[in-house]
Amino acid sequence: MKVLFLSAWYPHRNDKMAGLFVQKHAEAVALYCDVKLIYVHADEKISNFEIIINKSKNLTEIIVYYPVYKNSIFYKISKIINYLKAYLIGFKSLKSENFKPDIVHVNVLTRTGVIALLIKLLTGIPYVITEHWTRYLPDRNAFKGFFRILFTKIVVRNASAIMPVSKMLKNAMLSHKLVNKNYRIVDNVIDPSFTTTFDLHKRTKKRIILVTCFLEVAKNVRGIVRTISMISKIRDDFELIIIGDGLNFNDILKYSNELSITDKFIFFKGEKESREVAEWIYNSDFLVLFSNYETAGIVITESLALGKPVLSTRVGIAEDYIGENEGIIIEIGDEEALFEKLNYMLDNLKKYDKDIIRSRFINRFSYESVGNKIVNCYKEVLGNK
């Protein structure tokens, strides 16, 4: 089967982490299909179009960088024209290899969806959509604009399947009347590092771990820091390890310093590679997530695959996977509940059987499992064509 991926987000030369979850889906599908991916990216530093082609087994990435001219009075118009030209360059590359897809897989609406719709109208090739964006969630309330809403509704209605990455995202899309008869949830892929085992660190304290990008409006790390400060006044048998970097890192570090808990109860470890993150989670007792919103929250699946319970707010996939044997869910922004449940989990670690948790989730988010699930959706779509 030949599959064409189109995505609004994807790793590129200026940000290797952007849309990494889309790349992992493409790699997962490429285990079973011939996959070509087109991604176009605006670049103010170039004056001509540039095309980069990366090939790895059954996956070919066609990345087209196109110029934008911010100082031009025709900036918006020229950006749209160059965006479309970039896609034409990508399609010419496909044509040169005589690649005609059986199905198009759109990732992140809306413009990529419009292109897939045009392909369907011109060639009859069906398309499916995987959505990751938080803009539909009520806490974001960012799905606005007459034409955006109109075109998104048209694109969704004409898709053969919609595959959001959580039930919460599906319900949020439906609340905006993005109607399609074939909604199905697709999991994000986790790195194989999160299904391995590691040597155990020597430690004397119970360990909580947080993995975050330090985008405070979404992650609410300050609320965790404040709660840890309160808990430190009544007990000293624990530590919080924070892994990650990002926009508000220095602000949070400063706040922790002001509360005099840095390097006493909270330890900032900075950004780590996937394997290092997995080893830190493996050597912790449970993970905490106090986000205001998430479309998925892949760190939840990473923790569960390593056998570690999770204390999370009611965001993303939390309700999909966290039951009483896997951890606790609290309401968004509820610091009293965070205080209470952190203490509860610290006192009841034996309640959570890491081997049982691990056995339930270790294979669920693998490249093979997720790729097979997506390909089965393709087969159903093409069988009903």
Instruction: Verify cis geometry, omega within 30 degrees of 0, for the bond prior to 110.
Output: yes
Mean of pLDDT values over 220-225: 97
197: tokens are: 């085992």
- Identify the H or E element spanning 222: helix 221-231
Mean of pLDDT values over 189-216: 94
**Separation between Cα atoms, residue 59 and residue 15, nearest integer Å:** 20
Q: How confident is the model at residue 139 (pLDDT cuts 50, 70, 90)?
A: confident
**Separation between Cα atoms, residue 312 and residue 51, nearest integer Å:** 42
Q: How confident is the model at residue 103 (pLDDT cuts 50, 70, 90)?
A: very high
Could you give all domains of the chain from N- to C-terminal order, each with its CATH number?
2-189+366-383 (3.40.50.2000), 192-361 (3.40.50.2000)
Closest CA to 101 of 21, 5, 8: 5
List pLDDT tens digits, range 46-94: 999 999 999 988 999 999 999 988 777 777 888 899 999 999 999 999 9
* pLDDT above 90: residue 217: yes
pLDDT at 138: 86
Average pLDDT value over all residues in the chain: 94
Classify residue 72 by its DSSP letter. Answer: S
**Separation between Cα atoms, residue 360 and residue 375, nearest integer Å:** 22
pLDDT at 72: 72
120: tokens are: 């369907």
pLDDT at 385: 63
pTM: 0.88
368: tokens are: 């093979």
Q: Which conformational region is residue 322 in: left (phi greater than 0), alpha (psi within -120 to 50 degrees), or beta?
A: beta
Mean of pLDDT values over 18-29: 94
* pLDDT above 80: residue 220: yes
Write out the DSSP string of 251-301.
HHHHHHHHTT-BTTTEEEEE---HHHHHHHHHTSSEEEE--S--S--HHHH
* pLDDT above 80: residue 22: yes
pLDDT at 328: 98
Question: 364: helix, coil or strand?
Answer: coil
